[in-house]
Chains A and B, each alone.
Chain A
């Protein structure tokens, strides 16, 4: 106790450090319980993937380099190369729908 007489701010600092770590732990636990993949969801996803048998996620749907990399489409500026290996720019740059662009500029 006598120590704190001369160091009044140190306990506060240690307390706030501890609080930060505790908050991080609680946040992680909360997200872990609510956002992690449970078996049921995983089963559904596997079932879906086995039905359609297409790879990749529906995250980037306008570009071949993310969605279903096995088919060229009319939106890529460059076509995928035959061996499916990424190489600079070809699969990183892609064009979106020009019709959409025209619509936007019209607005």
Chain B
């Protein structure tokens, strides 16, 4: 193996790179930047996907909504009884939730109602509320996400918040706790309070609910149960957990796909420039190859030397790009790039993404960059190297 790698050729390649220092530094910087961008986007996408898939199993199997005139409409609470009668359904709960738009800050809060008297909710809430813990409140109380808490504090609501009801009157609700920072990616814009309070804020009647969630014990029965519900309530839209998984996949395929499409164009352009630069080898470089052949270098020696040149530049760029991407996404929370995913959100999360070591991405980016770059440098040299030495020098 030792005699396979010719160190003199590597030394020559290093010197050849250093002879054209500025050109090669420019190429390496551009390639590093491209690799950095692509890897960062993949890292962000994969982390968000991982985060979503980690919690997707905690969701109810089926969500039933009423559609009226092509739009979501409040569903009757008594529909739960009919759904419960279907074989295989473990539980059906009418949910009350929605968005509350807080004009002063221009943000949407998501308000979810839970049954206060159910002990299990109290226990669960205690486990996900931050260090301050749940304080006992008199009257209306709510637990808020960290983003909501911050927004309220910026608007001088420290201990309570005044919701404006549809009729213009105010509803005061005390803040009794904030969700743990660990759940920020899920809970940032959330407000959890009792169903009665949510109904009052949204002006919903007791007999109505936003939607109905259905728990099914056997995952194989979900499709059957969904079709049965559809038969009983033809005006409903049934969303199964599987639909959600598909839609997650769609979002990320679409978003990273758009980026990839743009990126491939820039990558392609980059390699065209490289190829063009290399195939239009300067007369000096041509002469160099000619002289090398004249003093006894074989064609494969020239190609090996060019391979080392290409490999050194592209592998260095690859490593630098990947190192920078890992730090950028997971240590600095991807400033600027995260906007592709967060869009217009006024209620910013810290964007602390969970880390997964993603070998697939690393390989994908490697094969997109290193071999292609090496090919773009070797092919023009091979064209010159196969000519006769005297022809080239002349």
B-binding residues in A (CB < 8 A): 3, 6-10, 13, 17, 20-21, 23-24, 27-28, 31-32, 35-37, 40-42, 44-63, 65-75, 79, 82, 84-86, 92, 94, 96-97, 99-100, 103
B345–A62 touching, CB < 8 Å? yes
Q: Nearest Cβ distance between residue B161 and chain A, in whole angstroms?
A: 17
CB pair B180–A44 under 8 Å, yes or no, is: yes
> Which residues on B sit within 8 Å (CB–CB) of A44?
127-128, 180, 182-183
Q: State whether the Cβ of B55 lies closer than 8 Å to any Cβ in chain A.
A: yes
B237 nearest CB neighbor, chain A only? A82
B67 A58 Cβ-Cβ under 8 A: no
Q: Are B239 and A84 in contact (CB under 8 A)?
A: yes
A104–chain B nearest beta-carbon distance, Å = 9
Q: 9 interchain pairs (CB within 8 A)?
A: A13-B10, A21-B319, A23-B323, A46-B54, A52-B186, A53-B60, A70-B63, A74-B101, A86-B251
Chain B residues whose C-beta falls within 8 Å of the C-beta of A24 in the assembled complex: 319, 322-323, 326
Report the separation of the CA atoms of residues A4 and B145 in the bound assembly, to the nearest whole angstrom. 62
**With A9-B14, A82-B70: A55-B108 Cβ-Cβ less than 8 Å:** no
- Given A54-B110, A71-B98, the answer on whether A94 and B54 have CB atoms closer than 8 Å is no
Q: B341–A60 contact, CB under 8 A?
A: yes
Whether, in the assembled complex, B355 has its beta carbon less than 8 Å from a beta carbon of chain A, the answer is yes
Q: A36-B354, A36-B356 are in contact. Are A58 and B190 (CB under 8 A)?
A: yes
A48 contact from B187, B243, B356, Cβ within 8 A? B187
User: Within the assembled complex, what's the spacing in Å between the Cα atoms of A75 and B15?
Assistant: 60
On whether the beta carbons of B192 and A52 are closer than 8 Å, the reply is: yes
Residue with the highest number of chain B CB atoms closer than 10 Å, among A42, A53, A82: A53
Residues 2-42 of B at the A interface (beta carbon under 8 Å): 7-8, 10-11, 14-15
Besides A51-B128, A84-B243, 19 more A-B contacts (Cβ < 8 Å) are A10-B10, A13-B312, A20-B323, A23-B323, A24-B322, A24-B323, A28-B326, A46-B58, A47-B124, A49-B59, A51-B121, A54-B97, A58-B145, A58-B184, A58-B188, A66-B251, A85-B250, A86-B254, A97-B101
A3-B67 Cα distance, complex, nearest whole Å: 79
Partner of B103, one of A36, A66, A72, A99: A99
- On whether the beta carbons of A60 and B250 are closer than 8 Å, the reply is no
Complex: A44 Cα to B110 Cα, angstroms: 19
What residues of B have a CB within 8 angstroms of the CB of A47 in the complex? Answer: 58, 124, 127-128
B225 contacts the other chain (CB 8 A) = no
Residues of B within 8 A of A92 (CB): 254
**B46 close to A (CB within 8 Å):** no
Question: Considering the chains assembled together, what is the distance between the CA atoms of A77 and B106 in angstroms?
Answer: 17
Contacts of B117 in A (CB 8 A): none
Closest to A59 in B: B342
Does B164 make an interface contact (CB < 8 A)? no
Contact of A46 with B55 in the complex, beta carbons under 8 Å: yes
With A and B bound together, what is the CA distance between A39 and B114 in angstroms? 26
How far is the CB of A66 from the nearest CB of chain B, in Å? 7
Q: Which of B349-364 contact A (CB under 8 A)?
A: 349, 351-357
